Chains A and B, each alone.
Chain A
Amino acid sequence: MSDTAAKPASVHAPLLSVRSLSVEFGSRDSAFRAVKEVSFDVMPGRTLAVVGESGSGKSVTSLAIMRLTDYTGGRIAGGEVLFRRSEQETLDLVKASDSTLREIRGNDIAMIFQEPMTSLNPVFTIGNQISETLTLHEGLNARDARLRAKELLQKVRLPDADKLLDRYPHQLSGGMRQRVMIAMALACNPKLLIADEPTTALDVTIQAQILNIIRDLQQEMGTAVIFITHDMGVVAEMADDVVVMWKGDKVEQGPVREIFAAPQHPYTRALLSAVPRLGSLKGQPLPKRTPVIVMDGGVPKQVGETHVQNTADYAKPILQVDKLTTRFDVGKTFFGRVTHRVHAVEEVSFDIYPGETLALVGESGSGKSTIGRTLQQLIEPTGGTVRFDGRDMAAMSQGERRRLRQEIQYIFQDPFASLDPRHTVGYSIAEPIIVHGLIKDRKAIDRRVQELLEQVGLQPQHAKRYPHEFSGGQRQRVCIARALASDPKLIIADESVSALDVSIQAQIVNLLMELQERRRLSYLFITHDMAVVEKISHRVAVMYLGQIVEIGTRQAVFENPQHSYTRKLLSAVPIADPQRERAETRIEGEIPSPVRPVGQEPAIHRMREVEPGHWVAIEADQLRGAA
């Protein structure tokens, strides 16, 4: 793709050349080396992906190139970063003066960060912030700067650019903000763009849009890109070359196809084996556990076994949800009258059977988390009935409702946030046992806690440690142990593996499946990640704007998607296969808001049965066609 782009004459000289770069944190005598003698080149007009999991040093490397580590407590301990500013001038950024660096930042090298909200200043309008860069580096006057800003916003395909200039960051959606960030980064036609996980915080369909924009603009402007990511799918879609980092070292480097086709380093192989691939279970009716390669002290080790997850028992549902509706009041007049409501969940119905995993898929604002929280009695429903084991939740007494909290457990997305930092994990795991009075004897509780820790793959002596002493994956294991402590029948997993590194994610998914088999657990698996859904679930429900638009067996929904939104969602997932034709289907449009004025109720979809157990919402154009 980059062959067609306009390129400077000396194509073969690298634009940026990183030579045995080392970065340290902490005081000199107890320094922690986050990046160890890493070297790579970035060619003009090409995209280099730096891949790694948390702690690999990939972000630190990108910060060090801009010398931004100076501001985060890091220190460049050695090496050089040679940047070719022009044909004649090559500069070592490690030794450059602060004033030179200020000229280069934003002008020659620009950066996009993961969180578009925190990298935009909330008290200035979008127009002001883009113009600032332009007046600073290009010396434009206010009016010209505004004109250029408008052009830039149009370039990143933001509709209504004129109006957007006067808006504030909080008035835009996440995807729009990230586009503004890209517009700002491209304001001065930089030679190099560093994108640090630019789409990680975004929904898949929005991610697909942003990736498209970056790719198109790169071709148009001939910018070189360093793309920092943990997502192998994104790498396959975006990169020309790949650098794989692990614990501060560069372990492998090469063209993207070679890395995917014939990974050399064991870590790269482990990483690739852990990536869930959409379509990998094609033709198989049941979810399947597959072994994961884990790095054990530098040596790859295969963990787990292949096992078909034949656990579901479809005789009698454990949970029946019928026309569940949850709304929140927002926006009140001065006199306290409600003017707007969030229609988070609208007449949603589904069943979950013992031993079954039902995945609830959707993007932000689809109401999937609200359903989970309503079932866990964290939110009061507005209407509808929920039956657990045949008993109506609304008709239950206080005591029965408390019992329900023992039988249904919830695992949150962020394991660190969901554990009390002031208590040991042993305390946290014991809490459900104590609260529900399951075991009275102190010693027996301790034994049970140790047993639970072992079941989730941790050591019994870990009980005495505090949450901050664990890694992310271990913490999620603690949360799972805590959920298991009260011996529940149903576990609601709310994006429980989304924040984890892929290799950890694969292990946790396997753990969940193993526990399901051993204890006949049912899962309500809430997520936005289609690839994980394919791996773990028996049935899938796709949610859009508070309603289910498609529900059916995993095989039916993935292999025969009927609703246009399901198809859109599936096509937006980046596929970890560079051989595959790069997606040209252009997804447009924001996710609409579920906030509506009082009195304007959303229309409830009518469902039709496509094949046994596979229901799809009838879409508006089909309705018209039928009439």
Chain B
Amino acid sequence: MAGTQAVPSPSRRRFRSLEFALGVILTGGMCLAVLFSSVLFPDGGESMDLMARLIPPFQNPAHILGTDPLGRDVLARVIVGGKISLTVGILSVLGAVVVGTLVGLIAGYYRGIAEVLLMRFADIQLALPFILIAIMFLAILGTGVDKVIFFMIVAQWVQYARLVRGSVLALRDREFILSARAIGVGNRRIIFTHILPNVLGPIVILMTLNVANNILLESSLTFLGLGVDPLIPSWGGMLADGRTYLQSAWWVSVFPGLAIMFTVLGLNLLGDWLRDLLDPTGQTSK
């Protein structure tokens, strides 16, 4: 009986306003800045000024966040770099979620031969070292943003598939699924209107975590020469470049780092909000 009380009213729960607002401001601001980067910085953050190398931040009004070892404006590069990073981070995660969730739903709901085939395939893929597949894959296909995204989807759908399948297995024998079936609800409707909403919570959490991961992953791939053209700025790439100057010029790597941090924080807040929105019982919140 103690479980029935102390549920905050739905409206209050759904608009835990501060967190939601902060999430919108962080994520939205970042996206807007990146969208209009070509207007804000028509040079694409490429113009070098070797006379103005390594200016510390907040000293020169033309370079508020300072300059890098080649005299390029850090602010411009952070915002232009967001284009690659956000595209890769968000698209790769979305792609993997769609593929993985579908596979997980099918494997978990229908069981049988579909499950065996799909999940064994997933296990095999999990057993192969990531870098090895990356090298093979990108060596064959060549490099480029689209290939990097495609590769990340291929590498990461497995996580979602396993997560979803596990949740579906737990759900499919629950009584409300049985009662939907008793009413005459068809399989497809059961999967998409009854099971899917109930497995979204953990998916959203994993998604927000993976966005950050993939932004960094892109830079690792680029570092290995498997990713994007290293001359195009990206957050991960800037972090890697600035590493050697960390002691003398911290700002070169700290600002792209902060950009990643704020984006991920914003996405996490939005993710929490979304998860609560999807769960009217409010049982999983916090």
- A422 to B184: give the CA distance in the assembly, Å: 19
Asked if B53 is an interface residue, CB under 8 A from chain A, the answer is no
Q: Point out the residue from B176, B181, B186 that lies within 8 Å of A378, measured CB to CB.
A: B181
Whether B6 and A25, one on each chain, are in contact in the complex, defined by CB atoms closer than 8 angstroms, is yes
- A441 to B278: give the CA distance in the assembly, Å: 27
- Point out the residues of chain B lying under 8 angstroms from A405, CB to CB: 182-184
Give chain A nearest CB distance to B271 CB in angstroms. 17
- Point out the residues of chain A lying under 8 angstroms from B6, CB to CB: 25-26, 30, 32
Known interface pairs A417-B174, A466-B280. Does A74 touch B2 (Cβ–Cβ under 8 Å)?
Answer: yes
Q: Point out the residue from A25, A417, A420 that lies within 8 Å of B180, measured CB to CB.
A: A420
Stretch among A85-93, A387-395, A428-436 lining the B interface: A428-436
Whether A55 and B180, one on each chain, are in contact in the complex, defined by CB atoms closer than 8 angstroms, is no
Give chain B nearest CB distance to A370 CB in angstroms. 13
- A10 to B42: give the CA distance in the assembly, Å: 97
Whether A417 and B175, one on each chain, are in contact in the complex, defined by CB atoms closer than 8 angstroms, is yes
Asked if B194 is an interface residue, CB under 8 A from chain A, the answer is yes
Give chain B nearest CB distance to A227 CB in angstroms. 18
Asked if B197 is an interface residue, CB under 8 A from chain A, the answer is yes
Q: Point out the residue from B181, B182, B281 that lies within 8 Å of A421, measured CB to CB.
A: B281
- A431 to B186: give the CA distance in the assembly, Å: 11
Q: Mark B166-186, 1 if CB is under 8 A from A, else 0.
A: 000000001110111111111
- Point out the residues of chain B lying under 8 angstroms from A59, CB to CB: 1
Asked if B243 is an interface residue, CB under 8 A from chain A, the answer is no
Stretch among A129-137, A406-414, A446-454 lining the B interface: A406-414
How many chain B residues have a CB neighbour from A under 8 Å?
29
- A478 to B10: give the CA distance in the assembly, Å: 20
Asked if A121 is an interface residue, CB under 8 A from chain B, the answer is no
Asked if B59 is an interface residue, CB under 8 A from chain A, the answer is no
Name B173-209 residues within 8 Å CB distance of A.
174-176, 178-186, 189, 193-194, 197-198
Known interface pairs A421-B198, A422-B197, A468-B281. Does A482 touch B183 (Cβ–Cβ under 8 Å)?
Answer: yes
Interface range on chain A: under 10, 10 to 19, 20 to 34, or 35 or more?
35 or more
- Point out the residues of chain A lying under 8 angstroms from B197, CB to CB: 420, 422-423
Give chain B nearest CB distance to A413 CB in angstroms. 8
Look across to chain B and name the residue whose beta carbon is closest to the beta carbon of A74: B2
- A417 to B193: give the CA distance in the assembly, Å: 16
Whether B278 and A422, one on each chain, are in contact in the complex, defined by CB atoms closer than 8 angstroms, is yes
Asked if A486 is an interface residue, CB under 8 A from chain B, the answer is yes
Asked if A73 is an interface residue, CB under 8 A from chain B, the answer is yes
Q: Mark B67-98, 1 if CB is under 8 A from A, else 0.
A: 00000000000000000000000000000000
Asked if A519 is an interface residue, CB under 8 A from chain B, the answer is no
Whether B281 and A412, one on each chain, are in contact in the complex, defined by CB atoms closer than 8 angstroms, is no
Give chain B nearest CB distance to A499 CB in angstroms. 12
- Point out the residues of chain A lying under 8 angstroms from B198, CB to CB: 420-422
- Point out the residues of chain A lying under 8 angstroms from B180, CB to CB: 420, 431
- A47 to B20: give the CA distance in the assembly, Å: 56
Name A48-103 residues within 8 Å CB distance of B.
54-55, 57, 59-60, 72-74
Asked if B39 is an interface residue, CB under 8 A from chain A, the answer is no
Look across to chain B and name the residue whose beta carbon is closest to the beta carbon of A413: B175
Whether A422 and B189, one on each chain, are in contact in the complex, defined by CB atoms closer than 8 angstroms, is no
Give chain B nearest CB distance to A272 CB in angstroms. 22
Asked if B279 is an interface residue, CB under 8 A from chain A, the answer is yes
Asked if A402 is an interface residue, CB under 8 A from chain B, the answer is yes
Give chain A nearest CB distance to B74 CB in angstroms. 46
Whether A431 and B280, one on each chain, are in contact in the complex, defined by CB atoms closer than 8 angstroms, is no
- Show 11 residue pairs from A and B whose CB-CB distance is below 8 angstroms, ordered by the A residue: A25-B5, A30-B6, A55-B4, A73-B2, A74-B2, A405-B182, A410-B183, A417-B175, A422-B194, A423-B193, A482-B183
Closest 10 CB pairs of A and B: A405-B184, A417-B175, A410-B182, A418-B179, A422-B197, A466-B280, A418-B175, A432-B183, A468-B281, A420-B176
Knowing that A421-B281, A431-B180 are A-B contacts, what are 6 other residue pairs whose CB atoms are under 8 Å apart, sorted by A's residue number? A376-B182, A410-B183, A421-B279, A422-B279, A466-B10, A468-B283
